[in-house]
């Protein structure tokens, strides 16, 4: 089975993990510090707080940006569930705005229509690695004192109008789950240019203690400590950061390969009836090509979307679904009606994710597209 994602791990990562193990320092320490400095430099930001997951980073980002109980956070339904779950964890209210047809990124006009006096943050997701339209989102935030907290789980290495993703919003989260463009096994980070937000996130990351774990255990800070608020155990380990350091050094090269493969997909999918890749956005950007998502015209097919995914899997293509929109999940069903989110609701019937990872060969793309063509040809309804 060709999976939809597969991490690229080289001897460099393996050696660094081995050296980390031999060093005796496994938890948050010198490798995490280096990884954080490298991520901040890479994203053009002044602060990075690395965490145990992207979900943890997003939770910290919202709290450190001042979101509290009863506040509203406008976000997209086309995302992994943790984007909205962290809002609920805070006692705040997730509010869904529909997405654009071409990109499945949040629709700025729909965001504006959802703003109320209680809106405290807007949380876009750069779906599949294509940057959202940041300028109008920033405009909505700045005029009203709303925080822009970005879920860039898919978008490390992407840029919007020449600015790296991470350097634009008040705080930006990245995920280092094994399917992501950069992995640490599990892990995540938030980046920001706001020193107070960074300091607050750093404290919340480690129990609400007034000093970071590397200071406490590295003998650099005082032996005693003070807990100033109820924080979390969200710190990343040096074993994970050891992997991340080498993943980051290779990220641009691997993102470039993703772009080449995506280009091949787009060329070859042009010859497949009733399936088309996601479209472009009308501003300049660099795409991180985290995922290759296509929309199938299931209205003319005898298989529904899940049937198409299964038929592809039967042919050795590990297709996936990203995502089941949040307003269709039991937990979030009462938060929006399907007709309020027509684009996301419609996408649910049609989208599937095809394999895309840097180690794929050009022939793999031809294999996947051939399988998709066969499946679709075999189920076109002839009336």
Phi-psi region of 129 (alpha: psi -120 to 50; beta: other; left: phi over 0): left
| Residue in the shown chain whose Cβ atom is closest to ligand PLP | 54
* Binding residue for ligand PLP, selected from 28, 45, 55, 183, defined by CB under 6 A: 55
Determine if 54 is a binding residue for ligand PLP (CB under 6 A): yes
Write the CB contacts of 311 (distance below 8 Å, at least 6 apart in sequence): 303, 375, 378, 379
Determine if 79 is a binding residue for ligand PLP (CB under 6 A): yes
* Residues 362-371: b if buried by 16+ CB within 10 A, e if exposed: eebbebbbeb
Using CB under 6 A as the binding rule, the residues of this chain from 104 to 133 that contact ligand PLP are 125
Of 1, 2, 5, the residue nearest 292 (C-alpha): 5
Residue appearing with tokens 């710190």: 235
- 50 close to 186: Cβ distance less than 8 angstroms: no
CA–CA separation, 381 and 275 (whole Å): 15
* Binding residue for ligand PLP, selected from 28, 32, 45, 82, defined by CB under 6 A: 82
Sort strands 47-51 and 188-192 into parallel, antiparallel or unpaired: antiparallel
Determine if 243 is a binding residue for ligand PLP (CB under 6 A): no
- 103 close to 292: Cβ distance less than 8 angstroms: no
Output the smallest distance, CB 237 to ligand PLP, in A: 14
Instruction: Let me know if 180 is a catalytic residue.
Output: yes
Choices 149-157, 236-244, 270-278, 365-373 (CB under 6 A): range interacting with ligand PLP? 149-157
Active-site annotation holder among 118, 180, 233, 250? 180
Output the smallest distance, CB 299 to ligand PLP, in A: 28
Output the smallest distance, CB 24 to ligand PLP, in A: 27
Determine if 80 is a binding residue for ligand PLP (CB under 6 A): yes
Binding-residue total with ligand PLP (CB under 6 A): 14
Determine if 151 is a binding residue for ligand PLP (CB under 6 A): yes
* Binding residue for ligand PLP, selected from 31, 59, 177, 327, defined by CB under 6 A: 177
CA–CA separation, 192 and 298 (whole Å): 42
Hey, how many other C-beta atoms are within 10 angstroms of the C-beta on 45?
Answer: 21
Of residues 86 and 379, the one with the C-beta less far from ligand PLP: 86
Backbone angles phi, psi at 99, to 5 degrees: -110, 170
Choices 75-83, 161-169, 197-205, 241-249 (CB under 6 A): range interacting with ligand PLP? 75-83
* Binding residue for ligand PLP, selected from 43, 53, 240, 353, defined by CB under 6 A: 53
- 73 close to 87: Cβ distance less than 8 angstroms: yes
* Binding residue for ligand PLP, selected from 77, 169, 188, 358, defined by CB under 6 A: 188
Output the smallest distance, CB 111 to ligand PLP, in A: 17
As given in the structure block, the two tokens for residue 16 are 């660094």
| Largest CA-CA distance found in the chain, in angstroms, rounded | 78
Determine if 291 is a binding residue for ligand PLP (CB under 6 A): no
Sort strands 351-354 and 275-277 into parallel, antiparallel or unpaired: unpaired
Choices 37-45, 52-60, 196-204, 293-301 (CB under 6 A): range interacting with ligand PLP? 52-60
Of residues 54 and 320, the one with the C-beta less far from ligand PLP: 54
Cis peptide before 189 (omega within 30 of 0): no
Choices 38-46, 150-158, 207-215, 364-372 (CB under 6 A): range interacting with ligand PLP? 150-158
Determine if 153 is a binding residue for ligand PLP (CB under 6 A): yes
Of residues 32 and 53, the one with the C-beta less far from ligand PLP: 53
As given in the structure block, the two tokens for residue 55 are 């979900």
Choices 31-39, 78-86, 244-252, 371-379 (CB under 6 A): range interacting with ligand PLP? 78-86
- 78 close to 99: Cβ distance less than 8 angstroms: yes
Of 203, 193, 261, 198, the residue nearest 230 (C-alpha): 203
Q: Which residues are annotated as catalytic?
A: 180
Binding site for ligand PLP (CB under 6 A): 53-55, 79-80, 82-83, 125, 151, 153-154, 175, 177, 188
């Amino acid at each position: 089975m060709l999976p939809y994602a597969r991490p690229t791990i080289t001897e460099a990562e393996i050696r660094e993990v081995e050296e980390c193990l031999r060093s005796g320092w496994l938890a948050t320490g010198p490798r995490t510090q280096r990884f954080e400095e490298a991520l901040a430099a890479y994203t053009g930001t002044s602060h990075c707080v690395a965490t145990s997951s992207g979900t943890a980073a997003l939770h910290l980002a919202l709290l450190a940006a001042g979101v509290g109980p009863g506040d509203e956070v406008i976000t997209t339904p086309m995302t992994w569930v943790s984007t909205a779950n962290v809002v609920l964890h805070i006692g705040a209210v997730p509010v869904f705005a529909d997405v654009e047809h071409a990109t499945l990124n949040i629709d700025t006009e729909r965001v504006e229509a959802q703003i109320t006096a209680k809106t405290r943050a807007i949380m876009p997701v750069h779906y599949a690695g294509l940057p959202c339209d940041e300028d109008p989102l920033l405009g909505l935030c700045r005029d009203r004192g709303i925080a822009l907290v970005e879920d860039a789980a898919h978008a490390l290495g992407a840029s919007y109008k020449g600015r790296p993703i991470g350097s634009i919003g008040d705080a930006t989260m990245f995920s280092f789950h094994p399917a992501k463009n950069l992995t640490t096994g599990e892990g995540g980070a938030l980046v920001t240019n706001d020193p107070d937000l960074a300091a607050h996130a750093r404290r919340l990351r480690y129990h609400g203690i007034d000093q970071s774990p590397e200071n406490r255990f590295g003998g650099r800070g005082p032996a005693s400590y003070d807990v100033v608020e109820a924080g979390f155990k969200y710190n990343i380990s040096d074993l994970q950061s050891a992997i991340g350091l080498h993943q980051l050094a290779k990220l641009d090269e691997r993102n470039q390969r993703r772009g080449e493969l995506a280009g091949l997909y787009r060329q070859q999918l042009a010859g497949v009836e009733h399936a088309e890749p996601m479209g472009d956005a009308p501003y300049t950007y660099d795409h991180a090509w985290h995922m290759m998502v296509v929309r199938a015209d299931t209205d003319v097919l005898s298989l529904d979307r899940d049937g198409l995914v299964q038929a592809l899997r039967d042919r050795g293509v590990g297709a996936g679904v990203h995502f089941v929109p949040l307003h269709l999940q039991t937990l979030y069903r009462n938060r929006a009606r399907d007709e309020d989110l027509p684009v996301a609701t419609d996408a649910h019937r049609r989208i599937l994710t095809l394999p895309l990872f840097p180690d794929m060969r050009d022939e793999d793309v031809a294999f996947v597209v051939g399988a998709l063509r066969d499946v679709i040809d075999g189920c076109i309804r002839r009336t």
